[in-house]
Amino acid sequence: MATDTAETGAEASPPTYAQPDVDVAALKVLLDGKYAAVRDLVRTNLAAYSSILEEAETMTRDEFRDRVKKVVVEMAATGQTGMGFPEEYGGGGDIGASVAAFETLAFGDLSVLVKVGVQFGLFGGAILQLGTKPHHDEYLPDLITAQTMGCFAMTETGHGSNVQALGTVATYDLATQEFVIETRGEEANKDYIGNAAQHAELAVVFAQLEVGGKSEGVHAFVVRIRENGEVVAGVRIEDDGQKMGLNGVDNGKIWFDGIRVPRTALLNQFADVTPSGVYESDIENPNKRFFTMLGTLVQGRVCVGGGGINAAKVALVIAIKYGLRRRQFEATSEDQEELLLDYGMHQRRLFPLLARTYALHFAQEVVATQLHDVFSGTLSDAKARRELESRAAGTKALGTWHATRAIQECREACGGAGYLSVNRFTALKADTDVFTTFEGDNTVLLQLVAKGLLTDYASEFEDLDQFGMVRYVAGLGVETVLEKAGVHKLLERIKDVLPGGDEGWDQEAGLLDPEYQLAMYRFREDHMLGGVARRLKRGIDNDMNPGAVFSLVQDHVIGAARAHVERLVLEAFVEKTRALPNGDLKVALNLLCDLHALSGIEADRAWFMEHGRLTSTRSKAITREVADLCRKIRPICGDLVDGFGVPVEMLRSPALVGGR
């Protein structure tokens, strides 16, 4: 980030402007949205268990795990963790509410959050989505109350991102009408599995199904791994031990040594094996079947993205409150040292992150609504599902990367005080770090986003592996890819906004015009996507191996996906602010939206200049505008973080945030 004032002319005295008067209560209502009551219930529960934040530092690992388990069971009794399950089993029947509850839980101890995610999201979600009524009847009532603890055993030491290559095998034994589950191969043991090391009685195990000597691909089975707390015969479990964070969750490795489960243990929503050993599925293509199964588990991804964004809010509340109290060096007065947040650099470090947190919050709201609509049946077409999967993957990637970056910057912005565990950053940093990896590694997720974009979420989407996708794109031709991805349509819109043609980019549009900002984001996305399609096609036309072509172009693929999600995030923010009635809140959110949009362009100005969309004069003007927006946000920054509604008990940090 360049802040060379001589270059940019940013040394000019700050302009005067009418400051918005932010109504914090109204802001909280806006941010909490439809599920304000659910979010408040979780806030109340978090406050009741706030002591866990301190205790986590002194408890042994076993004590911490037990404490987290107890909190999760007690929270389940309030109904907070079961909101997404059907009402007939004791759930709340509202998927949107369950996402809101989970996101809010991220204000507190994150081992509690992750244990909730494992028990209700992963384990419960798999039973609900992959199982059928007999499974629901048997397992849902007790898992919703956390009387039965379970785990979601997909990843193996040998394979994480490439789940289709798992080594665990489930063979159908016709004679006994059972499946025999076996860890086949050295690294085929399950690994990192939350709840496995101590608390889970049941596991949803993902394994290659073999029927009559034929492999039918990865399927899920319910397997009992403990009986009355003891690991059952045929199962071996090892503790994963101390982790970088989340030590209140018991992660472990699992081996299966020919353990037998009844035929009905197969979660048979998408495929079944008849007693006589016939494999049946309505989805013929094995790839499609596999991705359809995985697609039903998308809620976990939406939740982790939202959790990351809310964890970033906690860090920002602490750092901004600290910056409003902490003074260093005399600057504008000889009587008093300057507040940290009156320094331009401090504003520059924190406010773009604050603005991006707002942007991601609203983008998350869009994806959570989409999830609710798709899974409640309001939106039922297959394309909507594929778009949801892509959007969930992209928002999760950007949201969790943002959390890692924002938490680190906030820690540094609090100086030495930020390093003390009492001020929360120890746990925030350590616990959120892995959000970028679990529920899908972010880089791998962006590949999924790119695949959707390049194939326009076509029905072939799920059939295609990476190489199939390369061939598909090459076969379509660049123009068709761009046409399908809506690129030409978007470019037409850009011409409407910037009638001056290419020169119009630099001379006609105001920097604070959202249409200009969106046009820049759209141009980048379209250009990158076109470039990827062209390069993939050229490689195939030159008879290169599709895998080699993909590898060569992969950074470009990821770049295009990222540009796409950045555009979606900005659109979500612009639409939200546009819809607000005129008033101070709208003014305040417009400032944040402009700051988010322009600091995003500024961060990538080299690319925009390389591609003729920014002159050096305009680029410097953007840098000046970013600094100016930061100055405008300075008087309201305390209100803007108060609007997040992070319970004061969750802030700990008495010295940093000014006590409770």
Ligand X SMILES: Cc1cc2nc3c(=O)[nH]c(=O)nc-3n(C[C@H](O)[C@H](O)[C@H](O)COP(=O)(O)OP(=O)(O)OC[C@H]3O[C@@H](n4cnc5c(N)ncnc54)[C@H](O)[C@@H]3O)c2cc1C
Stretch of 140-148, 187-195, 337-345, 450-458 contacting ligand X, by CB under 6 A: 187-195
Q: Can you tell me which of 81, 198, 251, 577 binds ligand X, judged by CB under 6 A?
A: 251
Stretch of 186-194, 263-271, 575-583, 584-592 contacting ligand X, by CB under 6 A: 186-194
d(CA 499, CA 509): 9
Least CB distance to ligand X at residue 131 (A)? 17
Nearer to ligand X, 37 or 165 (CB): 165
CA angle in degrees (0–180, nearest 5) for 378-283-461: 70
Residue 552 has a CB neighbour count (10 Å cut-off) of 13
d(CA 130, CA 124): 10
Nearer to ligand X, 243 or 348 (CB): 243
Q: Can you tell me which of 55, 337, 441, 513 binds ligand X, judged by CB under 6 A?
A: 441
Q: Is 434 in the site for ligand X (CB under 6 A)?
A: yes
Site for ligand X in 112-171 (CB under 6 A): 118, 122, 152-155, 160-161
DSSP 201: S
Q: Can you tell me which of 375, 438, 457, 608 binds ligand X, judged by CB under 6 A?
A: 438
Nearer to ligand X, 243 or 556 (CB): 243
Site for ligand X in 219-248 (CB under 6 A): 243, 246
Least CB distance to ligand X at residue 660 (A)? 31
Assigned token pair, 318: 């602490």
Least CB distance to ligand X at residue 95 (A)? 21
SS3 379: coil
Nearer to ligand X, 211 or 565 (CB): 565
Nearer to ligand X, 12 or 165 (CB): 165
Q: Can you tell me which of 68, 193, 549, 597 binds ligand X, judged by CB under 6 A?
A: 193
Nearer to ligand X, 265 or 574 (CB): 265
Residue 279 has a CB neighbour count (10 Å cut-off) of 16
Least CB distance to ligand X at residue 501 (A)? 39
Least CB distance to ligand X at residue 571 (A)? 27
Show the site string, 4-23: x = touches ligand X by CB under 6 A, - = not: --------------------
Phi, psi for residue 16 in degrees, rounded to 5: -100, 145
d(CA 20, CA 513): 19
Show the site string, 22-51: x = touches ligand X by CB under 6 A, - = not: ------------------------------
Q: Can you tell me which of 444, 544, 621, 648 binds ligand X, judged by CB under 6 A?
A: 444
Dmax (CA) of the chain: 90
Count of H-run helices and E-run strands, the chain: 26, 14
Residue 547 has a CB neighbour count (10 Å cut-off) of 12
Show the site string, 263-282: x = touches ligand X by CB under 6 A, - = not: --------------------
Least CB distance to ligand X at residue 308 (A)? 14
How many residues bind ligand X, per CB under 6 A?
20
SS3 173: strand
d(CA 477, CA 536): 10
Least CB distance to ligand X at residue 358 (A)? 28
DSSP secondary structure string, 435-457? Answer: GGTTTS-HHHHHHHHHHHHHHTT
Show the site string, 71-110: x = touches ligand X by CB under 6 A, - = not: ----------------------------------------
Least CB distance to ligand X at residue 174 (A)? 29
Residue partners of 585: CB distance under 8 A and separation at least 6 = 20, 22, 23, 26, 27, 30
d(CA 438, CA 192): 10
Phi-psi region of 33 (alpha: psi -120 to 50; beta: other; left: phi over 0): left
Nearer to ligand X, 79 or 160 (CB): 160
CB of 407 closer than 8 Å to CB of 425:
yes
Q: Can you tell me which of 145, 164, 443, 615 binds ligand X, judged by CB under 6 A?
A: 443
Residue partners of 326: CB distance under 8 A and separation at least 6 = 339, 340, 414, 415
Nearer to ligand X, 264 or 447 (CB): 447
Least CB distance to ligand X at residue 306 (A)? 17
SS3 124: helix
d(CA 167, CA 259): 15
d(CA 27, CA 642): 9
Residue nearest to ligand X (CB): 160
Q: How long a stretch of residues is the chain?
A: 660
d(CA 101, CA 517): 33
Least CB distance to ligand X at residue 182 (A)? 18
Assigned token pair, 6: 């001589």
DSSP 494: H
Nearer to ligand X, 85 or 438 (CB): 438
Angle separating helix axes 344-375 and 95-105, nearest 10 degrees: 150
Long-range contacts: 327-332, Cβ < 8 Å, 24+? none
Stretch of 131-139, 254-262, 438-446, 491-499 contacting ligand X, by CB under 6 A: 438-446
Least CB distance to ligand X at residue 292 (A)? 18
Q: Is 417 in the site for ligand X (CB under 6 A)?
A: no
Site for ligand X in 334-393 (CB under 6 A): none
Stretch of 307-315, 352-360, 440-448, 486-494 contacting ligand X, by CB under 6 A: 440-448
Site for ligand X in 473-492 (CB under 6 A): none
Least CB distance to ligand X at residue 539 (A)? 17
CA angle in degrees (0–180, nearest 5) for 595-103-47: 110
Q: Can you tell me which of 108, 167, 194, 308 binds ligand X, judged by CB under 6 A?
A: 194
SS3 472: helix
Give the residues lining the site for ligand X (CB under 6 A).
Answer: 118, 122, 152-155, 160-161, 192-194, 243, 246, 251, 434, 437-438, 441, 443-444
